[in-house]
Amino acid sequence: MKPPPRLGPDATIGILGGGQLGRMLALAAAKLGLKCHIMSPDPASPAFDVVHRTTVADYTDTEALDRFANDVDVVTYEFENIPAETAVFLSARKAVLPNPEVLAITQDRLSEKDFITGLGIGVAPYANVETRADLRGAIEKIGRPSVIKTRRFGYDGKGQMMLRGDAPLSDADLNLIWEDLGGQPCVLEGFVTFRCEMSVVAARNAAGQIECFDVTENEHQNHILKVSRVPARISPEAHAEAIEIARKIADAFHYVGVFAVELFLVEDGGRERVLVNEIAPRVHNSGHWTQDGATVSQFEQHIRAIAGWPLGKPLRHGPTEMINLLGSEVEDYARYLAEPGASVHLYGKGAVREGRKMGHVNRVLPQKS
18 is in an annotated binding site: no
Phi, psi of 145 (to 5 degrees): -70, 145
Closest approach, Cβ 211 to a copy of itself, in A, equals: 10
Smaller CB separation from a copy of itself, 167 or 338: 338
Smaller CB separation from a copy of itself, 159 or 308: 308
Distance of alpha carbon 120 from alpha carbon 331, whole angstroms: 46
Peptide bond into 236 cis (omega under 30): no
If one asks whether residue 292 binds a copy of itself (CB under 8 A), the answer comes out as: yes
Distance of alpha carbon 27 from alpha carbon 330, whole angstroms: 21
For a copy of itself, the binding residue among 149, 204, 302, 345 (CB under 8 A) is 345
Task: Point out which span in 45-53, 95-103, 106-114, 134-142 binds a copy of itself (CB under 8 A).
Answer: 45-53
Contacts of 292 (CB under 8 A, 6+ apart): 317, 320, 343, 362, 364
Distance of alpha carbon 327 from alpha carbon 147, whole angstroms: 27
Distance of alpha carbon 249 from alpha carbon 237, whole angstroms: 19
264 is in an annotated binding site: no
Question: ∠ CA 126-244-294 to the nearest 5 degrees?
Answer: 115
If one asks whether residue 48 binds a copy of itself (CB under 8 A), the answer comes out as: yes
If one asks whether residue 35 binds a copy of itself (CB under 8 A), the answer comes out as: yes
48 is in an annotated binding site: no
Q: Which element (helix H / strand E) includes 5?
A: none
Q: Are 282 and 21 in contact (CB under 8 A)?
A: yes
Looking at the DSSP bridge assignments, the partners of residue 217 are 198, 229
If one asks whether residue 183 binds a copy of itself (CB under 8 A), the answer comes out as: no
DSSP string, 110-178: HHHHHHHHHTT--B--EEEE-SGGGHHHHHHHH-SSEEEEESSS--TTTTEEEE---SPPPHHHHHHHH
If one asks whether residue 9 binds a copy of itself (CB under 8 A), the answer comes out as: yes
Q: Are 327 and 358 in contact (CB under 8 A)?
A: yes
Distance of alpha carbon 309 from alpha carbon 205, whole angstroms: 8
Closest approach, Cβ 47 to a copy of itself, in A, equals: 10
Three-class SS string for 226-261? Answer: EEEEECCCCCHHHHHHHHHHHHHHHHHCCCCEEEEE
If one asks whether residue 161 binds a copy of itself (CB under 8 A), the answer comes out as: no
| Contact mark string toward a copy of itself, 299..338, x via CB under 8 A | -----x----xx-xx-x-x------------x--xx--xx
Q: Exposed, middle or buried: residue 350 (CB in 10 Å: 0-12, 13-18, 19+)? A: exposed
If one asks whether residue 113 binds a copy of itself (CB under 8 A), the answer comes out as: no
If one asks whether residue 56 binds a copy of itself (CB under 8 A), the answer comes out as: no
Smaller CB separation from a copy of itself, 135 or 303: 303
183 is in an annotated binding site: no
Smaller CB separation from a copy of itself, 234 or 294: 294
Smaller CB separation from a copy of itself, 172 or 315: 315
149 is in an annotated binding site: yes
For a copy of itself, the binding residue among 167, 268, 340, 354 (CB under 8 A) is 340
If one asks whether residue 31 binds a copy of itself (CB under 8 A), the answer comes out as: yes
Task: Point out which span in 153-161, 235-243, 280-288, 347-355 binds a copy of itself (CB under 8 A).
Answer: 347-355
If one asks whether residue 353 binds a copy of itself (CB under 8 A), the answer comes out as: no
CA dihedral 70→76→80→84, nearest 10 degrees, is: 30
If one asks whether residue 164 binds a copy of itself (CB under 8 A), the answer comes out as: no
159 is in an annotated binding site: yes
Closest CA to 264 of 256, 274, 255: 274
Smaller CB separation from a copy of itself, 194 or 333: 333
Binding stretches for a copy of itself (CB under 8 A): 9-10, 23, 26-27, 30-36, 48-52, 54, 292, 295-296, 304, 309-310, 312-313, 315, 317, 330, 333-334, 337-338, 340-350, 359, 364
Can you say which residues are annotated as belonging to the binding site?
109, 149, 154-160, 189-192, 197, 220, 277-278
- State the binding site for ATP: 109, 149, 154-160, 189-192, 197, 220, 277-278
